[in-house]
Structure 1
Amino acid sequence: MINQRVPKIWYGGDYNPEQWDKATMEEDLRMFELAGVDVATLNVFSWAKTQRDEHSYDFTWLDEIMDRLAEEGVHVCLATSTGAHPAWMAKKYPDILRVDYDGRKRKFGGRHNSCPNSPTYRKYSALMARKLAERYKDHPALVIWHVSNEYGGYCYCDNCESQFRIWLKERYGTLDKLNAAWNTGFWGHTLYEWDEIVVPNALSEEFGGNRTFFQGISLDYRRFQSDSLLACYRLERDELKKITPDMPVTTNLMGFYPELDYFEWAKHMDVVSWDNYPAIDTPVSFTAMSHNLMRGLKSGQPFMLMEQTPSVQNWSPYNSAKRPGVMRLWSYQAVAHGADTVMFFQLRRSVGACEKFHGALIEHVGHEHTRVFRECAELGAELQQLGDQLLGSRSNAKVAIMYDWENRWALELSSGPSKALNYVDEVHKYYDALYQLNIQTDIIGVEEDLGKYDVMVAPVMYMVKPGVARRVEQFVSRGGTFVTTFFSGIVNENDLVTLGGHPGELRHVMGIWAEEIDALLPGQHNQIEWNQEWGSLRGSYPCGLLCDVIHAETAEVLAGYGSDFYKGTPVVTRNRFGEGLAYYVASSPDSKFLQGFLANLCEEQGVKPLLNTPTGVEVTERVKDGGSYLFVLNHNAEEMTFDAGSAKLFDLLSNRQVSGHVTIPGRDVMILKRSAAQS
């Protein structure tokens, strides 16, 4: 638990007092107290201020700020400042500058502009981390280290090319094995020397930003770049840990960000933290799924909400203000799904540059008499009231959805079968159906322990990594329910097709084989004809995107297609395997079908909704010491009524007992405590 030195849900965010004078900082500290701010993130982009040249370091400005915050009882999440290198470094050491996808050498500017394989960047970033650790290791304000900021972006320079060859040697050992893994016999690409390997970008194998002629090399380059950026993080983390071994270290992730394999990154983080920036029209279920992904990166461990905006954000096409109550509602949604902090970017609005219109606790007007500040101060007071009650509590989900970044990369790089196929969207369709049913659901990686769950869903499991099929078989044979979908079991970890019929290694447990894959045009549909009674399912349901034409082997056919040349062939099957069941959904159904289908599966396994609520009223649960906390979040603008059951539950926010039919105001939140005896 990270909150030991501040034993409550941390409240605060990014603070940049180096951009202001001392009088302004003093006024900020006054308003921090009014708002209940107890943790500030410092030094995120201050490398140039601290290090003016190779040998000169000046921390006096940071000393003053750290000391002043400590005096006021505000603790510090201290960043290493290495998210943007100084101009002098780019001028003197051009190896630090990235080369972009089109082969152009960048100049100084922007941020995330450092080549992850630059010896210069690695040297000076690690040195900065060490100097910070040596200077502030005993500072009373320090509560956590924050390495760099929002890692991302690929580089295609000569440094990366040479290091990529070394990475490949370590992965494959010999060129013969590499040639086999990449299938280089295709188009005469056989490689005879390691230095014949070039980076895959617009000058070689790729085109259009995410399309490639050779999936093998492009897939490996994404693995390599993720590993390269991770190596930069680890260099700084290791320097911090040498000097402050007991101080937690993190870096802020970005939800379903496509370029980095966060399951691998999380292995090297003491706590996962992330930045949550939904647009005004982002489905609330997608935000919930993103929180659950962050929770799932470390097997359900609570995470940090490192950034969100108190009001508007500056980069969306339409930067709408959060309506009254929404900031509080979305903050509690994060806590409901596992956050033990609520933090903002930013605490005071910048006066210039691209983030001057990004929201903040303290607006440009510079005082506390704003709607945004009032709402933030009210939330700060509530978090003080909650104290440490929720800290360390976890999800107890019995349903999980499997998500894999490498599977996503391989799907996106694939030539066919449909440009409309979007892995994250298909995962979200299944998550949203469970969300609407108020079924608690984890998002997990392929290495997670499946034995904790009763129902496992793996949408579009295109890539089956070594050992995964065997683990699925064990899960099902021991009584679990497994669901996968169209375009699953197609390739191995090198994106080579598993021969012998789709779904490849999953064929045995699924009891079917797929003969063809039909890609439907936008707006074109087939039908799932459900001609038996099973819960609420009956009749015809639209399906589209892709249609696998499958044959049942040992599986039972539950539904057939309604039209086209494969009319009447199976579209939904169920295979009994050992003590459990494996379901195959051969097309992409609508939400009505998925809700009915998944409700039936959960009911078969004894997995029940947390509560029955109207549409737009979210329910999730955190458990601790045998008891539980039910979060009821009304995302509607209007008040709603739900049935809380006959047991008396205690609402931590209103300090009252509730039971039976309960009315919750629009955009409001309830945290209902249920004792161990009631759980």
Structure 2
Amino acid sequence: IMDNMHKINGYVVLATPSGARPAWLSAKYPEVLRVRGNRVRNLHGGRHNHCFTSPVYREKVKNINTLLAKRYKDHPALLVWHVSNEYGGECHCELCQEAFREFLKKKYSHDLDALNQAWWTGFWSHTYTDWSQIESPAPHGETGIHGLNLDWKRFVTHQTIDFYKNEILPLREYTPDIPITTNFDEYVNIFNGIDYWKFAPYVDVVSWDNYPYWHGERKNWIEGSRRGFIHDINRALKNGKPFMLMESSPSATNWQPVGKLRRPGMHALASIQAVAHGSDTVQYFQWRKSRGSSEKFHGAVVDHCGHENTRVFQEVAQVGKILEKLDDVVGTSIQPEVAVIYDWENSWGIDDAQGPRREKKDYFETCVKHYYQFWRRGIPVDVVNMDVDFSKYKVVIAPMLYMVKEGVGEKVDAFVKDGGTFVTTYWSGIVDETDLCFLNGWPGPLRKVLGIWSEEIDALYDEDKNYISVDTKRLPGMKSEYEAKIFCSLIHTEGALTLGTYKTDFYAGRPALTVNQWGKGKAYYIAFRGEDCFLNDFYENIVVESYLQKCIDTDLPEGVTAQMRTDGEYRYIFLQNYGEEEKGIQLPKGEMYDLLAEAEKSIRDEIVIPGYSFKILVATV
């Protein structure tokens, strides 16, 4: 395969096999099998059913990777190493328990009292008096110490990375000039798994596997914004460097609830979306459909029929022809002025907190809803964690920033004082990084910069509603009233200006939307979960007052977005229509040309984009 690829001037991203091992290895070395939280060891089977700590498995993986590296180190087709596949999961065996204790000893400087304080173990008399007493969370054991649960998840990330670092040792030794990646996986980890912000420094290029739910319950442009959100996380993980779309399906998947075929055009649109958000590649799982086993009905470039005379194959070939015309886009950058904070550790904390609701806390969905207001306007966004440098942005948005790590409050303070705009919401500034509640009033370290005190939060039943009365003189273009559901914070202003108040219930008349002038900038607090139309109207004001630049200076119809990449000389503008019907777009003044046009490339005045399609425009900076 490697030789044949070289003969056609192709390249190979070569994977290592640690994600799924042969049965003989499990039989000979049962310690490599994972142990579940209930302390029962797995049988052989599945994928990633291995202990990350096992010295035996680490040795075997290193051995086979050494053989691979030696064999292919000088092969001209070798382009990138793909290490393992979709790392994920956890093991609770004795080897992992001991490694967890060592991790904790290092984290807490061998001070058990410090650990007990951080975990607040005195509650329910769970104080530890010896390190050997500490066990990972278990359904038949400890799950109520939130600091333990957080540190266990941090350990799982640490141990996964440590396993990966062992895997790549021979690759670095024998092929030091070949980049290394591993494919990050949305469905295992984006919601509640490995912290990729910790993992990203150890890969040379970020890659991820994208499997959207097109033509489903959500409108396609809403699903498109979710895909954009995750693309933008993966781009931000390496500070804006282009990433790789490692896996995608040209057709249906077989593991989603409904394997609906992609309608004509949607496969190409989804592929170009990845490029628009910063990918320098479009790749597929799988090339040829497996004849048997669990993914035999998963989409592929070559179907079971075995030839190229299929709709899907021809669509893939067409995508290839389009990509051949985008050589100038490779390596270009995206320069967002807006950041939305989505932080894995914050997500873990919110999910684990026993309140203020058990269901519909929806941290991920809430972040996407705020992000969507910029995506729909064609304004690029970085999706970041709370540890990044805020100073390069005009606007930083932190929905539900429940956990505020040490130093983050000071960063927000400096960002706003220097002229930035900061937006946060209910259920922010509640706990520190060990999940201990801040004393002296919420939102903790954000209290001064926001100019408010959050006294209580009212969790509403699904059918409950409140209403918000908005000061339309201070917020032009907004309606006078909006609906509030799920969460309503009860706040006092401490220097902030009230922009909206609650209309009903015992807290009628109290602030629901505030802004605090802080130095040269502003800090907004949204005390309630608002409907989409509220976010749309509110962020229109933020866009105008912050002078945010759109990718193309025009109003985009519903279902259409624009993203832009640039090399500093040219702007490559990707207009994408996620609706079924064609959409017309008025173009701003200035010279532009259609990169993919066969004949007349120069365009002006208006452009029409068919349904499930796109245009790539080029203009000078």
Q: TM-score, normalised by structure 2?
A: 0.96
Residue in structure 2 matching 1:639, options 582, 587, 590: 582
1:179 paired residue number: 116
Q: Is the 8 A contact 2:191 2:364 kept in 1?
A: no
Give SS of 1:451's match: coil
Partner of 1:189: 126
2:400 aligned residue (435, 452, 460): 460
Where 1:428 maps in the other structure, the secondary structure is helix
Cα distance in structure 2, aligned partners of 1:433 and 1:201 = 40
Cα distance between partner residues in 2 of 1:203 and 1:74: 53
Matched letter for residue 163 of structure 1: A
Task: Determine the structure 2 residue equivalent to 1:100.
Answer: 36
1:484-499 correspondence to structure 2 within 5 Å: 484-499=424-439
Q: Is the 8 A contact 2:377 2:561 kept in 1?
A: no
Q: Does 1:392 align with 2:331?
A: yes
Pick from 330, 334, 343: which aligns with 2:270?
330
Once residues 292 and 10 of structure 2 are traced to their aligned partners in structure 1, the CA distance between those partners, rounded to angstroms, is 26
- Does 1:228 pair with 2:159? yes
Whole-Å Cα distance in 2 between the matches of residues 524 and 241 of structure 1? 58
Partner-residue secondary structure (3-state), 2:471:
strand
Match of 1:620 in 2: 563
**Counterparts of 1:505 and 1:555 in 2: how far apart (Å)?**
16
The one-letter code matched in structure 2 to 1:622 is R
Match for 2:122: what amino acid? G
- Sequence identity percentage: 43
**2:60 counterpart residue number:** 124
| Residue identity matched to 1:204 | G
Residue identity matched to 1:407 = N
| In 1: Cα distance, 2:136 partner to 2:547 partner | 51
Counterpart for residue 139 of structure 2: 202
Residue identity opposite 1:264 in structure 2: K
Residue 371 to residue 639, structure 1, CA distance change in 2 (3 Å) = same
Alpha-carbon distance in 2 for matches of 1:234, 1:545: 43
Name the counterpart of 2:527.
586
1:406 aligns with 345
**Which runs of structure 2 are paired with 1:415-564 in the superposition (5 Å)?**
415-419=354-358, 420-533=360-473, 534-564=475-505
SS of match in other structure, 1:344: coil
> Post-superposition shift, 1:531?
3.0
Contact 1:299 1:448 in 2 (8 A): no
Secondary structure, counterpart of 1:494 in structure 2: coil
Q: Which moved more, 1:591-600 or 1:138-147?
A: 591-600
- 1:619 is paired with a residue whose SS is strand
In structure 1, the partner of 2:169 is 238
Q: CA deviation at 1:599?
A: 1.4
Within the candidate set 233, 249, 253, 1:313 is matched to 253
For residues 107 and 667 of structure 1, the distance between their equivalents in structure 2, rounded to whole angstroms, comes to 45
Contact 1:616 1:636 in 2 (8 A): yes
Deviates more, 1:80-89 or 1:605-614: 605-614
230-239 vs 88-97, which moves further? 230-239
Give the deviation of 1:68 after TM superposition: 2.4
Give CA deviations for 1:189-209 in whole Å, capped at 9, x if unaligned. 111111000111212123xxx
Stretch moving more, 164-173 or 447-456 = 447-456
Deviations 1:251-299 (A, max 9, x none): 0002324210001111111000000001123511101111111111111
* 3-state DSSP of counterpart to 1:641: strand
Compute the displacement of 1:452 (Å).
Answer: 1.1
Which amino acid counterpart does residue 115 of structure 2 have in structure 1? L
* CA distance, structure 2, for counterparts of residue 154 and residue 563 of structure 1: 47
1:617 deviates by: 0.9
Contact 2:417 2:520 (8 Å CA) reproduced? yes
Equivalent residue in structure 2 for 1:277, among 211, 219, 223: 211
2:97 to 151, 161, 164: 161
Alpha-carbon offset, residue 591 of structure 1? 1.0
Tell me which of 10, 27, 37 is aligned to 1:74.
Answer: 10
Contact 2:377 2:562 (8 Å CA) reproduced: no
Deviations 1:507-526, CA, capped at 9 Å, x for gaps = 01111001111001113221
Deviation of residue 415 (structure 1)?
0.7
Gaps of 5+ in 1: 1-64, 207-212
Kindly provide the amino acid, as one letter, of the partner of residue 365 in structure 1: C
CA distance in structure 2 between the partners assigned to 1:128 and 1:625 by the alignment: 44
1:346 aligns with 2:283: no
Please, which of 652, 655, 659 is the counterpart of residue 595 of structure 2? 652
Letter of the aligned partner of 1:557 in structure 2? T
Distance 2:387 2:169 in 1: 25
1:568 matched to which residue of 2?
509
Please give the secondary structure, in 2, of the residue aligned with 1:620. Answer: strand
Cα 1:157/1:592, change in 2 over 3 Å: same
Q: Any idea what the Cα deviations from partners look like across 1:449-502, whole Å, max 9, x if unmatched? A: 211110110000000111111111110000000001101001111000110000
Distance across 1 between alignment mates of 2:65 and 2:407? 38
Which amino acid in structure 1 is aligned with residue 334 of structure 2?
Answer: S
Q: 2: distance between equivalents of 1:359 and 1:366?
A: 13
When structure 1 is superposed on structure 2, of 143-152 and 652-661 the one drifting more is: 652-661
Mapped partners of 2:503, 2:238: distance in 1: 43
Kindly report which structure 2 residues correspond to 1:244-283, keeping only aligned pairs within 5 A, or say none: 244-255=175-186, 256-280=190-214, 281=216, 283=223
Shift in Å, 1:385: 2.5
Q: Are the counterparts in 2 of residues 299 and 444 from structure 1 also a CA contact under 8 Å? A: no
The equivalent of 1:83 in structure 2 is: 19
Q: 2:618 maps to which residue?
A: 673
Q: Following the alignment from structure 1 to structure 2, what is the Cα–Cα distance between the partners of residues 417 and 284?
A: 31
Amino acid at match of 1:650: Y
Secondary structure class of the residue paired with 1:509: helix
Is the 8 Å Cα contact of residues 561 and 575 (structure 2) preserved in structure 1?
A: yes
The offset of 1:437, in angstroms, is 2.3
- Secondary structure in 2 matching 1:91: helix
**Alignment deviations for residues 320-375 of structure 1 (CA, whole Å, 9 cap, x no partner):** 01111110000000000000000000111000001000011101111111110111
CA–CA distance in 2 between the matches of 1:437 and 1:599? 9
Cα deviation, residue 315, structure 1: 0.2
Q: What is the RMSD of the two structures over their aligned residues, measured on CA atoms?
A: 1.1
1:609 equivalent in structure 2: 550
Q: Quick check: 1:296–1:445 contact (8 Å CA) kept in 2?
A: no
* Aligned counterparts of 2:388 and 2:453: Cα–Cα separation in 1: 27
Match of 2:316 in 1: 376
